[in-house]
Chain A
């Protein structure tokens, strides 16, 4: 099972945090910090797998990918295949690139809700549910389209709509 997906900038700023085993919000920063320490300590030429049992509990591993200014980190337990996880990171990044047309860090900063949408289409409850980037992009685009359709009334203040609905 996948335990966490993290996107951390090379400046140690979290850009996306998603934990599939609940972690109290207070703990998030500690986790980010310890993961980042591992990431920044590992040189480029080594393998992309790191054991993280001291951070996420026994048997956990993480794969990471360093792309431009971001680290993409997947944390998972022994029931997942490390190489496959590495490719899942790749799938994720490819989807991002298709959704944002040349994705960059700012896209991710400003649209982290979209990232969550994408991830929800790929991973649910820590299990991979969709691995075809085409499918995911299709779903995400449809969601956006439908959201736009239904958001026409959204400029009305909520006090007014509430009065109507009451």
Chain B
């Protein structure tokens, strides 16, 4: 047996297997096919490349051989091996006289190089010459290469020839010249913009192939500026009409449909031209109607045309008759068994609902089916559709489904996308605050790391601000429900960081607000969080700040609190943390514990996270203090502008001067630019009273600040500005001393200034930046948020929140009197002459419009699916209700006229053709006449070929003699 196989193989090789290639190539393919590992394959190809390198450089190789060598090189490169040494040989081969070599050269060059490659300059010359060749094949090869290799700079070199070729007698050349010109236009529209009229001319080409090819550039041009091509609408419509009426040569028929690809391109163009143009659209309706009437839903390509027709109709000025036909076809797609057609149906539905949202209702079940389909592509497409048709009434179902799907996928890219869509929809349409928070919790729980951190900030802000301006009770209820849910969730492992941040923040802010949970309980939970996430500094910072707040609230309420042992451990640990941010927070907490009730209240007023922080830049609250100091003999502050001797120096310099005059504290660099100047002054003079008040110096500033200005918001909100700076004071003293002592006040060496400044900014940076980014900025939306963020918040959330609230109210309202509103809707749809009182008894529930009734009765946390299922029953009756009466009345004649020909109406249409999407069988079916006759006798041929293949050992599939049998039956 083994022997037999070897003999067979040798025979096969001897005869070269009939593939016209040499034994060497055959051997190469064979040995690659037999390679057992990637390493072995790499070795084989490396050897081959070595061989090729030698041979290609050898001048005594016959030219016929050269072609094959180059092809082998292309083959090796295709398998992923570097063959760059051969590029120059490919370029050389394009110079060759003989056609096969030249063509091979061009092929290799087009595959190896791109327009930016160094060798291209050598090819441009050849292309230029070949474009003038008498042999049209040479011209074609040159045009093909030109499409690939001519970059912006080289366009002028070949442009005149290409334009000339537009009038070449051979249609193959004209076609390629059109495409080359198009490609130049894509590369650099300015260099060929004066030639675009040529495309219009070629549209009238005698050859349908050239005309069809011209549609490609025209489509691009029309997309750019539709208005300058409106005059062509009639021509396009005429062409389409001729195509549909089979005036083209039959060679353009494909599966018995006349030139389908040209039809599709034309429909695309018409869709652009007719968009929002009533007059232009008017020309199209007839031919579109024709296409629908002749539409062949049995073949794949027929459906492709119908789909394109739907796209066109949904894009041009709407026409009710057309829309109806489009909806009808869409429903056929959706009812089909083929996933491809369902996919197209969903897409088409997405386009149609933009014009008439009611169309979707009829297809609720089909859409739900697609959603439940195991086919991922279809599912995603359906989610896209749902995303487009989300309303406040159905948002719950849709978002719940999205989240459910999101949880189960692993593809990060798509997970991110769907998570952000969930967030978007929830923000836009949330029917209730509670639902919103629950939804967001789910999103954060499962994809917290993938959503934008701003979403987390928005959620915190929402919880803090609440939805309604007047309804304080609802807000606090919302908060306590948030606290409840977070306390439940917080123990779970592997929560994403951003979600933990939210949890910590909410627990800190509102954990004890409703008195349901004791402070120590919440603190215990927060300590657990900090402990469980040792590596995540941001979470720890949030946790410790939350603890800080709870302590503050407790003290403010006059309750006695004691530091839990685990909390003490945490504080101790953080005080020694490497992160200065954490350290600071820990120290702040310790300082807070020593403060009395009044001080704490102003440091950390309860529920004040939303209040705007007004920064008193003039520090007017210090006026009395300054006055007092002046009276005691202090020298007055002289503004920089009025000082002599200091002209145009940095603010730090002036500050320093000011320090030397005050002699109390010395700051050197550190200083921020101008605005901070008055602040620094105040601090300098304030230091004494502060130390008196509190044991720990720095945090005491909070107190100071707040006592003087009651309007100031919570303590750590202030820290962004004040805290950071004050912190630096301490650091400054330690590190700044040497610099200071060595420097003379007025003429400080600039180098020292810089080094000093650098070291300070280091110290400052590490403590201030994390704080600002991770905490400060989040909380102090009023002051520190960037303009961009505010805009986002306004657009996403501010307005959305208001809208959501309004919507929520609206939906509640609709829920209350839903019978009456729905009744009106149904009467419209059904056009039944029924008395209005009859319908309220049984309003047809909308499946996709689920929201209305169930929402008001069910708690938002209830499983949406039970709602859905509950509705499935009655809903299945809905289409009948809305469908049959409609057809039986006024609309019926239209429908019939459109589909009079080949569409079996009514029930039959549901089961049009079981083989609808099965392309293979269809094609074999249709193409049988063309191909089958040839297929029959050549079976032997096929068997022989397969035998050879097996002997050579390249193809592993033995069970299918004719490999494309399944294609052609």
> Which positions in A face B, CB cutoff 8 Å?
11, 13-14, 16-18, 22, 25-26, 28-29, 32, 42-43, 45-51, 53-54, 65, 67-70, 79, 81-84, 86-88, 90-91, 93-94, 96-97, 101-107, 109-113, 116-117, 120-121, 124-125, 127-135, 139, 142-143, 146-147, 150-151, 153-159, 161-162, 165
A91 in contact with B964 (CB, 8 Å): no
Decide yes or no whether B374 CB sits under 8 A from chain A.
yes
* A residues less than 8 Å from B589 (CB atoms): none
Contacting residue for A129 out of B63, B175, B304, B949, CB 8 A: B175
Nearest B residue to A43 by beta-carbon distance? B374
Contacting residue for B254 out of A16, A67, A87, A111, CB 8 A: A87
Q: B251-277: contact bitstring with A at CB < 8 Å (1 yes, 0 no)? A: 110110001111010001000000000
Nearest B residue to A163 by beta-carbon distance? B59
- With known contacts A46-B378, A105-B955, A158-B61, A125–B147 Cβ distance under 8 A: yes
* B residues less than 8 Å from A153 (CB atoms): 63, 98
Task: Apart from A81-B304, A105-B963, A139-B172, list 15 A-B contacts with CB within 8 A.
Answer: A49-B343, A68-B966, A83-B340, A86-B304, A87-B304, A87-B919, A109-B954, A124-B144, A124-B179, A128-B213, A131-B254, A131-B260, A151-B100, A157-B61, A159-B60
Contacting residue for A81 out of B176, B186, B308, B919, CB 8 A: B308
- A102 nearest CB across to chain B (Å): 4
A97 in contact with B147 (CB, 8 Å): no
Q: How far is the CA of A43 from the CA of B375 in the complex (A)?
A: 8
Q: How far is the CA of A90 from the CA of B924 in the complex (A)?
A: 11
* A residues less than 8 Å from B307 (CB atoms): 81, 83
Contacting residue for A154 out of B98, B303, B949, CB 8 A: B98
- A73 nearest CB across to chain B (Å): 14
* A residues less than 8 Å from B147 (CB atoms): 124-125
* A residues less than 8 Å from B112 (CB atoms): 25
A105 in contact with B949 (CB, 8 Å): yes
Contacting residue for A84 out of B301, B960, B963, B964, CB 8 A: B301
Stretch of B72-80, B236-244, B533-541 at the chain-chain interface: B72-80
* A residues less than 8 Å from B77 (CB atoms): 25
* B residues less than 8 Å from A25 (CB atoms): 77, 82-83, 112
* B residues less than 8 Å from A135 (CB atoms): 209, 251
* B residues less than 8 Å from A106 (CB atoms): 17, 19, 945, 948-949, 952, 954-955
B98 in contact with A79 (CB, 8 Å): no
6 cross-chain pairs, A with B, having the tightest CB-CB distances, nearest first: A83-B304, A47-B339, A22-B114, A110-B19, A159-B59, A68-B963
Nearest B residue to A158 by beta-carbon distance? B63
A113 in contact with B107 (CB, 8 Å): yes
Nearest A residue to B957 by beta-carbon distance? A69
* A residues less than 8 Å from B20 (CB atoms): 110-111
A46 in contact with B216 (CB, 8 Å): no
Q: How far is the CA of A48 from the CA of B179 in the complex (A)?
A: 29
B377 in contact with A51 (CB, 8 Å): yes
- A1 nearest CB across to chain B (Å): 9
B964 in contact with A68 (CB, 8 Å): yes
Nearest A residue to B178 by beta-carbon distance? A129
Number of residues in B with C-beta < 8 Å to the partner?
111
Q: B743-766: contact bitstring with A at CB < 8 Å (1 yes, 0 no)? A: 000000000000000000000000
A-B contact pairs, 7 of them (CB 8 A): A25-B83, A49-B340, A51-B377, A93-B964, A97-B967, A130-B212, A158-B61
A110 in contact with B63 (CB, 8 Å): no
Contacting residue for B374 out of A46, A48, A162, CB 8 A: A46
Q: How far is the CA of A143 from the CA of B104 in the complex (A)?
A: 12
Q: How far is the CA of A129 from the CA of B378 in the complex (A)?
A: 30
A132 in contact with B252 (CB, 8 Å): yes
Contacting residue for A131 out of B104, B180, B212, B378, CB 8 A: B212
A101 in contact with B339 (CB, 8 Å): no
Main secondary structure of the interface of B (DSSP, over half): helix
* A residues less than 8 Å from B29 (CB atoms): 109-110
B260 in contact with A103 (CB, 8 Å): no
Decide yes or no whether B376 CB sits under 8 A from chain A.
yes
> Which positions in B face A, CB cutoff 8 Å?
17, 19-21, 25-26, 29, 59-64, 66-67, 71, 74-75, 77-80, 82-83, 97-101, 103-104, 107, 111-112, 114-115, 135, 137, 144, 147-148, 172, 175-176, 179-180, 182-183, 186, 209, 212-213, 216-217, 219, 251-252, 254-255, 259-262, 264, 268, 300-301, 303-304, 307-308, 338-340, 342-344, 374-378, 380, 411, 413, 919, 923, 927, 931, 934-935, 938, 941-942, 945-946, 948-949, 952, 954-957, 960, 962-968
B968 in contact with A97 (CB, 8 Å): yes
- A159 nearest CB across to chain B (Å): 4
Nearest B residue to A130 by beta-carbon distance? B209
Q: How far is the CA of A91 from the CA of B176 in the complex (A)?
A: 19
- A154 nearest CB across to chain B (Å): 4
* A residues less than 8 Å from B255 (CB atoms): 87
- A19 nearest CB across to chain B (Å): 9
Q: How far is the CA of A91 from the CA of B919 in the complex (A)?
A: 12
Q: How far is the CA of A151 from the CA of B967 in the complex (A)?
A: 35
* A residues less than 8 Å from B264 (CB atoms): 81, 84
* A residues less than 8 Å from B80 (CB atoms): 14, 28-29, 32
B63 in contact with A104 (CB, 8 Å): no
Contacting residue for A87 out of B301, B338, B339, B960, CB 8 A: B301
- B105 nearest CB across to chain A (Å): 11
- B934 nearest CB across to chain A (Å): 8
A150 in contact with B967 (CB, 8 Å): no
Q: How far is the CA of A91 from the CA of B251 in the complex (A)?
A: 13
B300 in contact with A22 (CB, 8 Å): no
Nearest A residue to B339 by beta-carbon distance? A47
* A residues less than 8 Å from B216 (CB atoms): 127-129
A47 in contact with B19 (CB, 8 Å): no
A84 in contact with B107 (CB, 8 Å): no
Q: How far is the CA of A88 from the CA of B75 in the complex (A)?
A: 25
Nearest A residue to B59 by beta-carbon distance? A159
- A164 nearest CB across to chain B (Å): 10
* B residues less than 8 Å from A113 (CB atoms): 71, 74, 104, 107
Contacting residue for A94 out of B144, B148, B927, CB 8 A: B927
* A residues less than 8 Å from B948 (CB atoms): 106
A151 in contact with B260 (CB, 8 Å): no
Contacting residue for A86 out of B19, B64, B300, CB 8 A: B300
- B326 nearest CB across to chain A (Å): 15
* B residues less than 8 Å from A69 (CB atoms): 955-957, 963
* B residues less than 8 Å from A107 (CB atoms): 19, 945
* A residues less than 8 Å from B960 (CB atoms): 68
Q: Which of A17, A106, A135 has the most CB of B within 10 A?
A: A106
A154 in contact with B101 (CB, 8 Å): yes
B19 in contact with A154 (CB, 8 Å): no
B60 in contact with A112 (CB, 8 Å): no
Q: How far is the CA of A127 from the CA of B182 in the complex (A)?
A: 10
- B564 nearest CB across to chain A (Å): 48
Nearest B residue to A102 by beta-carbon distance? B942
Q: How far is the CA of A109 from the CA of B62 in the complex (A)?
A: 24
Contacting residue for B261 out of A124, A128, A158, CB 8 A: A128
* A residues less than 8 Å from B137 (CB atoms): 142-143, 146-147
B100 in contact with A147 (CB, 8 Å): yes
Q: How far is the CA of A79 from the CA of B82 in the complex (A)?
A: 34
* B residues less than 8 Å from A130 (CB atoms): 175, 209, 212-213
- A95 nearest CB across to chain B (Å): 12
* B residues less than 8 Å from A32 (CB atoms): 80
Q: How far is the CA of A152 from the CA of B168 in the complex (A)?
A: 28
- A116 nearest CB across to chain B (Å): 5
- A126 nearest CB across to chain B (Å): 8
* A residues less than 8 Å from B968 (CB atoms): 94, 97
- B395 nearest CB across to chain A (Å): 24
Nearest B residue to A14 by beta-carbon distance? B78
